[in-house]
Structure 1
Amino acid sequence: MSSFKSSLLAVRWLAVPAAALLFTACASTSTMTASTQAPAAPVKVKVFVAAMFEIGKNTGDRAGEFQHWYERYWKDAKPIAVPGALQPVYCNADGVCGSVLGMGKVNSSSSMQAILLNPQFDFSQSYYVISGVAGTPPSRGTIGEVSWATWLVDYDLGHRWAPEENKPGEPTFMPRKGYEEYRRFKLNPDLVGWAMKLSADTPLKDSDSARKYRLRYPDAAARRAPFVGTGTHMTGDTFFHGPGMSKQAQYIAKLYGADDYVITEMEAAAITLVIKRTHGTDRVMSLRGAVNFDQGNPKETTLQHLDPAPGETAGGFAETVENIELVGSRVVDHIVANWPKWSGGVPKL
């Protein structure tokens, strides 16, 4: 082989590794550039609003628990997907975020857990508004009212038996030992006080159908116009109904040392337990609007009340879901507008 051919062959063999090395170097530089890009900073959540369900879309149709909140705070916000949560989270530039968590204790609390642990959010200084519709005993509340919880009590976590297997008139519930730390939660009295101070005088919506429906009940509380109040919220997966079950809920509230039972709902105690294990409960609020009574009027049976004939429902649902946001947004807006005073904890009243 001539020296000229040998030189050409050497150049050919050398050229391939050089090109490969150049490609590898470029790819490596590109990878380093991509990997060194700083991840997006997590959203610093000042207030998180939790709703349980929405009827249709988030805006423009019949409103469920989320729509009025969405239209006030997140109409132009992009959804943030969270693996493990029922629905995406929405946030605005002021640090107000919210989501639909799902109905019932397991559904809602699993969504809350997924959101709290997601690195896209910073909940280290967050306040929480657990928001939704509910029932109320006619001796304590009325259709359209809005209530801030002082206590959250789990209706379950105990033993129950049939009334016919009991002495007449005695309770058919016994608390089970071992659940003391998560069967009831006393919410921060200072925060409840602030909520009432900021929202007690909120003008509330009412309807002719709700006014007419209230007159079926003899109780003075049931016949009241909508108001903003406080009391114990009872969380149970069972949609309990009737004077006997209502009496039992009041019995449980008193047994646990809580305030009067005024609201029946299905999520708040479970969501609060999740928040407690990560950030404590000092910044948790439970806000509920009553859309039904927890029992029928004296002229109807419990089953008739549970399955009313057409035109016999309570009415006032649309007004109540609006009332919830009207009341709650006063507190949310105050916290955000005065964040330097609230970021470190609930100010003294």
Structure 2
Amino acid sequence: MRFRFTASAQVAAVACATVLLAGCASTDRPSQAASAAQQAQPVQVKVFVAAMFEIGQNTGDRAGEFQHWYERYFRNAQPIAVAGALNPVYCNTDGVCGSVLGMGKVNSSASMQAIVLNPQFNFDKAYYVISGVAGTPPSRGTIGDVTWGSWLVDYDLGHRWAPEEGQPGAPVFVPRKGYEDYRRFALNPALVQAAYAMTRAVPLQDSESAQRYRMRYPDAAARKAPSVHVGTHITGDTFFHGPGLSREAQYIAKLYGADDYVATEMEAAAIALVLKRTHGTDRILSLRGSVNFDQGNPKETTQAHLDPKPGETAGGFAETVANVAVVGSTFVDTVVKNWPQWQNGVPAQR
């Protein structure tokens, strides 16, 4: 950067250099040094919203995981480019920031690390809402549900073999030693319960197509209207599917001491590891909306469920991404509005 000094500024600069006086300033007004210092001040982040994908633009078309957040908080925000991140970061004047990190563990965690290490932001007191869509087992949830993650469990870290190569009916997975510190994360129960308490009664949208689709399943949980609840989120780069792999996911959750598996997603455990190594996990929330079941109904094969005929999809995607944002924004708005009580940690709940 090249600066143009006035004559009086040049004299002042020479005087400073000659007598080595600290703190000498240019006589230009306003001070260029002060202006540069103001520009260099990092954004004090109160809440960071991490989405994984957007379908098209951030506003004005079909909504993916970020559009509702963008329209609520970032319409007037300028994009902040971050080297190493997939997409820019947006921040509003209230300290709410957000970005689309990319799908999958590597994609999302690489973006998250680039953002949290970037000097343009101060994350020392930030809360994180990892926000996106998910699948759910029909025994635990339904289309349109929104769940707060109590545990984040990595589905992939271990040893697997073909079922016919083991004992009939026995699990085909064992954890690999050495991954104990990053294959599962118990999220701050005080934070999770506070988020759940303030959002459990939030009205959720539903769709006629999702209502019809639920009736294909005999499970009581699958047939219910959408609701907000809490449970383990399983992170896997593989889009595992079918009753057998769903049981395996539940087995892994229990093997690691977590509670019931309720959502399958692709990023949260990896993002949590990045944050654990930089700012800790006490302020992480994982928020997922269920847009599909992790298996077909008893009358269809897994392959048929993965590749449905026209008109036989679940529907409810648009309603679910709206549900995620309305639930999540309830938490975000509460934290921002009551920042003096939240900045140093989760306030005691009444």
TM-score of the alignment, normalized to the shorter chain, above 0.5: yes
Query: What are the ranges of 5 or more consecutive residues in structure 2 without an aligned counterpart?
Result: 1-6, 15-24, 27-31
Q: Does 1:111 align with 2:128?
A: no
Written as runs of structure 1 = structure 2, the 5 A alignment for 1:1-349 is 37-38=36-37, 39-349=39-349
Aligned partners of 1:310 and 1:81: how far apart in 2?
A: 41
Aligned partners of 1:326 and 1:226: how far apart in 2?
A: 13
Aligned partners of 2:70 and 2:33: how far apart in 1?
A: 36
Local SS of the residue matching 2:319: helix
Aligned partners of 2:261 and 2:105: how far apart in 1?
A: 19
Aligned partners of 1:319 and 1:256: how far apart in 2?
A: 33
Give the root-mean-square deviation of aligned CA atoms: 1.8
Aligned partners of 1:176 and 1:72: how far apart in 2?
A: 43
Q: 1:14 maps to which residue?
A: none
Q: 2:3 maps to which residue?
A: none
TM, length-normalised to structure 1 = 0.91
Cα displacement string for residues 115-148 of structure 1 (whole angstroms, at most 9, x for unaligned residues): 0000000000000000000000000000000000
Cα displacement string for residues 162-207 of structure 1 (whole angstroms, at most 9, x for unaligned residues): 0111111000001000000000000011001111111000000000
Aligned partners of 1:129 and 1:136: how far apart in 2?
A: 19
Aligned partners of 1:42 and 1:157: how far apart in 2?
A: 36
Q: How far did 1:347 drift?
A: 1.2
Q: Which amino acid aligns with 1:68?
A: H
Structure 1 window deviating more from structure 2 (32-41 vs 120-129): it is 32-41
Query: What are the ranges of 5 or more consecutive residues in structure 1 without an aligned counterpart?
Result: 1-21
Aligned partners of 1:311 and 1:81: how far apart in 2?
A: 41
Q: How far did 1:315 drift?
A: 0.3
Q: How far did 1:40 drift?
A: 2.2
Q: How far did 1:76 drift?
A: 1.0
Local SS of the residue matching 1:221: helix
Q: Which amino acid aligns with 1:143?
A: I
Q: How far did 1:348 drift?
A: 1.9
Q: 2:17 maps to which residue?
A: none
Aligned partners of 2:40 and 2:82: how far apart in 1?
A: 15
Cα displacement string for residues 20-44 of structure 1 (whole angstroms, at most 9, x for unaligned residues): xx9xx69x88xx9667742421000
Q: Which amino acid aligns with 2:230?
A: T
Q: 1:4 maps to which residue?
A: none
How many positions carry a matched residue from both structures?
A: 326
Aligned partners of 1:213 and 1:344: how far apart in 2?
A: 45
Local SS of the residue matching 2:231: strand
Local SS of the residue matching 2:56: coil
Q: 1:18 maps to which residue?
A: none
Aligned partners of 2:59 and 2:76: how far apart in 1?
A: 11
Local SS of the residue matching 1:48: strand
Local SS of the residue matching 2:156: coil
Aligned partners of 1:99 and 1:54: how far apart in 2?
A: 10
Aligned partners of 2:176 and 2:299: how far apart in 1?
A: 36
Identity, in percent, stands at: 74
The runs of at least 4 aligned residues of structure 1 exceeding 3 Å deviation read 32-37
Aligned partners of 1:104 and 1:325: how far apart in 2?
A: 21
Q: Which amino acid aligns with 2:185?
A: F
Aligned partners of 2:295 and 2:335: how far apart in 1?
A: 37
Q: Which amino acid aligns with 2:282?
A: D
Aligned partners of 2:308 and 2:100: how far apart in 1?
A: 28
TM, length-normalised to structure 2 = 0.90
